[in-house]
Amino acid sequence: MAEMRKPPTAPRHVAIIMDGNGRWAAARGRPRAFGHRQGVEALRKTVRAAGDLGVEQLTVFSFSTENWRRPAEEVDALFELLRMYVTADLDKLASEGVNIQAIGRRDGLGRDLLEIIERAEERTRDNDQFKLVIAFNYGGRDELVRAAQRAAEAHDGDLSGLDEAGFERFLDTKGSPDPDLVIRTSGEHRISNFLLWQAAYSEFVFMDVLWPDFDEASLKMAIEEYAMRERRYGGVDG
Ligand code: FPP
């Protein structure tokens, strides 16, 4: 008799493309930055909900290498929001055992923001209750190119013996499991240069909700959808 599969569990690692802040603000006749500010509130709710639902890691796409093409005012607002979020929430997150990490290009971020990020990473390094990874100034292709450069440097230019596990050690995400579930909000069905290597086998759930309206119920729905797919997969190999 076929071995019973374990009942579906919560995904260990959820990654989110938090899309739709601009449309949410426009629908209210407000500037795009207003949508991003509300997006931070949704992020706070989601971190809490993820922990409650048994998720161990959340990776969120906060600023892409392509977002530099937006008006300077909006870029500034996104930088300011990251600064504000990490500064305002660090004590609480640290005391709750959250390990904070940032992935993405660090050059071009500015000294003050870099210091805030490094301080948060350093202070929460040994925390193991939950991992929050903020992708900021991040692009999947950019990460792969930087990883290739680091690998070449570490291997004195001879990559002939490099395999997948060996290459992974040079990615920004080294030490993290691949995302089990990738959620994209706002009805768009694209990966947009997010976690290109890491999402190779992830389940994708696309939701119509705009990111500022995302909450615990939305996360639950995405996890239920993920669990259903797992069950279907379990059904074919009996
Ligand atoms: C996409 O919405 C969202 C972003 C480009 C930024 C995501 C940022 C946040 C949720 C808040 C910032 C959080 C931190 C930690 C810095 P969009 O602007 O592309 O929306 P649209 O597609 O409706 O225009």
User: CB neighbours (10 Å) of residue 101?
Assistant: 20
Task: Read off φ and ψ for residue 126, nearest 5 degrees.
Answer: -90, 0
Task: Answer yes or no: 126 catalytic.
Answer: no
Question: What is the value of pTM for the model shown?
Answer: 0.94
Q: What is the mean pLDDT of residues 57-75?
A: 97
Beta bridge mates, 136: 63
Which domains, from first to last, does the chain contain? Answer: 13-227 (3.40.1180.10)
Beta strand 57-64 with 181-184: parallel, antiparallel or unpaired? unpaired
pLDDT digits (tens, 9 = 90+) for 188-238: 999 999 999 999 999 999 999 999 999 999 999 999 999 998 655 556 654
Q: What is the 3-state secondary structure (H, E, C) of 49-84?
A: HHHHCCCCEEEEEEEECCHHHCCHHHHHHHHHHHHH
Residue 7 Cα, ligand 1 centroid: separation in angstroms? Answer: 35
Residue 2 pLDDT level (bands cut at 50, 70, 90): very low
Q: What is the mean pLDDT of residues 109-113?
A: 94
User: CB neighbours (10 Å) of residue 237?
Assistant: 8
Binding site membership of 135 for ligand 1 (Cβ less than 6 Å): no
Task: Answer yes or no: 19 catalytic.
Answer: yes
- 10-47 core/surface letters (b: 16 or more CB in 10 A; e: else): bbbbbbbbbbbbbbbbeeeeeebbbbbbbbbebbeebb
Residue 139 Cα, ligand 1 centroid: separation in angstroms? Answer: 15
